[in-house]
Amino acid sequence: MKVKRINIREARLDRGRFHKNSFSRRGMKKSKIFLTVSCMALTALAGQSQAYAQARGGDEIIVTATKRAEKLSEVPIAISVFGADDVDQTGVRELSELSEYIPNVQISGHNDFRSVITIRGVGSNSRNIGFDSRVGVYVDGVYMGQSPAVNQELLDLERVEVLRGPQGMLFGKNTVAGAVSLVTKKPADEFSARVTADIGNYDYREFKGIVNVPLGQMAAAKFSIAKTDRDGYIDNITTGNKLDTKDVWAYRAQLRITPTDNFEANFAFDGLNTDNKILVGEPLTDMLGIGPVPVAPEPRRVAFEFDPSENRDIYGGMMDLEYNLDNGFTLKSISGYRNTDAFYTNATDYSPVSVVSIEYSDKFEQFTQEFQAISPPGERLTYMLGFYYYNQDSDTQRDVFLGDSFHESFIAPVVAPSVAPLLMLDPNNLTPADLAFISAFVGFGPEGSRVYNSGRVKTESFAGYINGSFDITDRLTLGFGGRYSVENKDVNWLLDGRNSGLFGIGSTNPDPMTGVPSPLINDRTDKFFSPAVSLSYAVMDEANVYAKYSSGYKSGGFNLDYINANELAANTGLEFGKETVDSYEVGFKGAFWDGRFTLNLAAFLSNYEDYQVNQFVDLGGGNTSIRITNAAKVKTKGVEAEFNLEATDNLVFYGSAGLLDAEFDEFPGGGSGGSDASGNRLVNAPEFTAAIGGVFTQEIPSLNSTFLLRADLTHTGGYFTTADNVKTTTLPSMATIPFGYIDEMTQLNGRVGVITNNEMLELYFWGRNLTDEDGLIDDFRDFFNTYVNHPNIGRTYGVGVAVNF
């Protein structure tokens, strides 16, 4: 019996792995060369494919991201698919690790509280409950919610579908950059079970269990669970512990009922619980960004008074009902409930003493309901009508504490030298009472006091949509769609900055006599119609070209953060408006040599208006404000290519490439000190990204097994992390530090193992980042002007075993 061949056919994704996402002035030349070579190769292959074709019966990849089951090669959207076997072979365990393999996609992975997914240079995190992300993550059609819920464990999935470009016609919430759809494996009619264990360096341990149980003739259930632990790789020399640990539980229970041939019901309940010691950032400077970090300046060593932490408790359920009418129409109902509770702490002074620390708690509870009516397949005109409802309650409590060393470590060295003489005090001979007096004089509360914000945002949105296609001829197809959305947001939120002193944090609606704040109460409504249209032409039986226009919007909201008093006075309602996008795309999808070789090409141009910018703004004098404005116009353009080559029955190659030019078309005042950032590149938008790899399998008759070898080489080009587009920063002490740019990184991942031919036992050795690249993956300037960065984890390796029943 042959091994399932790792579903190499299914791995023939639209995925591509050689992906360049960039072309600036210099990259434009690369893109032209790349497209020329691709077109020459395409022409040659087209001429050979008819003579070479033979009946191989290859599987066609089917995707459901368009809300209907369609051939990937015929969908006029740039979609990448990462199959179940890809997840197993690459050792990818959570969504954040996928970005190495998917074209034009970057996903932050070191801080799940503020996860960011960037597609084609555009993305954001939902930094506070009033600001939404630009990429929606869906599990079986249910929206997972804001940033803390994004980084899901990839537990028992059939595939991951990544749609690049605005998807306002298809999905319900804020998909101006794209959407990620996770499709789970449904319960089957036969009993099966799978147990896996992985052990690796950094004391890595992962155990998974999956069992599928048939329940009579009309039902089946499945239960999945995973536990992951890993030590950290950053030493906190103050506590003696390591940071960036993993302690994760994930689980899912599913029930499928098919009482008749026409009706199917799927129920699921899943959850995720994490309890991690995290590294928000390794400081390069002192707390105020005046000079280099005074304690533990060595890489991968920090000196924090306590270990920053992150806890997430996420769970939810869904109900998917599908009924096929006798006339060929299908009716569907998808109901979803999600609950996210996230808690986050950080030593915001980045020091070994207690100066300033934060505790953030965000909670989200949401309900979604979608109804669909789908026309019969195979007709000249096919379409789907839908209605979508979304309701979310979000609560926040965010505290900044003045620590018990605030006076001696901040007031004495920073404030007292200039303030003490004004109060007739000797700055060189100050008592604790003097320090407390100075602190109160400049507006700081006593040690142990807090600056805080808290409140609630209620969101309710409705949308009606249609999408479909019409076969103008046997080869020419018109695609069409539109979505009309109405979203209402109500806010009740309080900011109390009375104890912030020289940092100048504002307070909402302060009483003129006492200064006691009262909540901000406000509401806003956004309405938008998102049309889309495409033309597809079958140049051959297995090759299509398409041109597409699509649009989308990201709803406006409220800037519920630590805002400077002057900024708050200028925008008492804290509102910002919606942003919109118009996107144009042309592409090619083809299969040659009877499916042995697939090639997908796409070129795109997207224009964003009223782009919402979330910035830490240096106001000078040690003051910082967190500002969200519709300040910019953004243009992104690029090309992408993906291929999959089944060279032999035992060897498959795959790759992707992309070139990206993502810039602020207009951004006056967007740089430091109010400088003009127009023409600068977007943050977290590498010009060039690529991946290439292969899978080799060989039967070993003497062992009644099959040998497997997989290798993946991934590359991410350098990118800026600030709108200033700088690579170094000079501090007030005149020291210069590297900041504002993340260098390119190339990583090698691999897996080697054997699988018994009865598929009962699998044994692997695996490794990620085998060349031990230890560069940076992020840097930023924190609220008090501390410059920090985050290093890559370096080489990881281990052994894995899987038993199937």
How would DSSP label each residue in 103-135? TTEEE--S-GGG--EEETTEEE---STT---SE
Q: Is the pLDDT of residue 801 over 60?
A: yes
For residue 23, what pLDDT band results from cuts at 50, 70 and 90?
very low
CA-to-CA distance for 451 and 91, rounded, in angstroms? 43
Q: What is the pLDDT of residue 395?
A: 97
- Token pair, residue 166, equals 């605005």
Q: What is the dihedral of CA 28, 33, 34, 39, to 10 degrees?
A: 130
User: According to the CATH classification, is domain 5-405+447-804 in 1.10.1270.20?
Assistant: no
Are the C-beta atoms of 432 and 407 separated by less than 8 Å? Answer: yes
Q: What is the dihedral of CA 302, 233, 684, 134, to 10 degrees?
A: -110
Burial 582-603 (b: 16+ CB within 10 A, else e): ebebbbbbbbbbbbbbbbbbbb
For residue 311, what pLDDT band results from cuts at 50, 70 and 90?
very high
Q: Where on the phi/psi map is residue 689: left (φ > 0), alpha (ψ -120 to 50), or beta?
A: beta
For residue 655, what pLDDT band results from cuts at 50, 70 and 90?
very high
CA-to-CA distance for 141 and 171, rounded, in angstroms? 9
- Higher pLDDT, residue 368 or 175: 368
With CA atoms as reference, report the closest residue to 5 among 617, 745, 646: 646
Q: Which residues make beta-bridge pairs with 737? A: 729
- DSSP, collapsed to helix, strand or coil, labels residue 24 as coil
For residue 11, what pLDDT band results from cuts at 50, 70 and 90?
very low
Query: Locate tokens 């897996």: which residue?
Result: 751
CA-to-CA distance for 220 and 742, rounded, in angstroms? 49
For residue 713, what pLDDT band results from cuts at 50, 70 and 90?
very high
Q: Is the pLDDT of residue 625 over 50?
A: yes
Percent of the chain residues past pLDDT 90, beyond the cut: 74
For residue 38, what pLDDT band results from cuts at 50, 70 and 90?
very low
Q: Is the pLDDT of residue 14 over 90?
A: no
For residue 623, what pLDDT band results from cuts at 50, 70 and 90?
low
Q: What is the pLDDT of residue 378?
A: 87
For residue 582, what pLDDT band results from cuts at 50, 70 and 90?
very high
Q: Is the pLDDT of residue 272 over 70?
A: yes
Backbone angles phi, psi at 171, to 5 degrees: -120, 160
- Token pair, residue 766, equals 């695996």
Lowest mean pLDDT among 114-118, 579-583, 705-709: 114-118
Lowest mean pLDDT among 108-122, 383-397, 695-709: 108-122
**Mean of per-residue pLDDT scores for the chain:** 88
Query: Locate tokens 């509870």: which residue?
Result: 365
For the residues 426-431, what does the mean pLDDT come to? Answer: 92
For the residues 216-224, what does the mean pLDDT come to? Answer: 95
DSSP tag of 785: S
Per-residue pLDDT of 480-529, as tens digits, reads 999 999 999 999 999 999 999 999 999 999 999 999 999 999 999 999 99
Q: Is the pLDDT of residue 12 over 90?
A: no
Hey, how many other C-beta atoms are within 10 angstroms of the C-beta on 109?
20
Lowest mean pLDDT among 11-20, 264-273, 311-320, 674-683: 11-20
With CA atoms as reference, report the closest residue to 272 among 340, 207, 337, 204: 340
Q: Which residues make beta-bridge pairs with 253? A: 223, 269
Per-residue pLDDT of 430-487, as tens digits, reads 999 999 999 999 999 999 999 999 999 999 999 999 999 999 999 999 999 999 999 9
Q: What is the pLDDT of residue 622?
A: 59
Domain ranges of the chain: 5-405+447-804, 406-446
Q: Is the pLDDT of residue 681 over 80?
A: yes
For the residues 660-664, what does the mean pLDDT come to? Answer: 96
Burial class, 607, CB count within 10 angstroms (exposed 0-12 / middle 13-18 / buried 19+) = middle
Whole-model pTM?
0.88
Per-residue pLDDT of 340-362, as tens digits, reads 999 999 999 999 999 999 999 99
Per-residue pLDDT of 56-67, as tens digits, reads 334 567 777 677
Q: What is the pLDDT of residue 619?
A: 63
Q: What is the pLDDT of residue 3?
A: 30
With CA atoms as reference, report the closest residue to 59 among 9, 4, 11: 9
Q: Is the pLDDT of residue 720 over 90?
A: yes
Angle at 92 between CA 91 and CA 96, to 5 degrees: 160
Q: Tell me, what amino acid is at 758?
A: N
Q: Is the pLDDT of residue 51 over 60?
A: no
Q: What is the dihedral of CA 283, 289, 295, 300, to 10 degrees?
A: 10
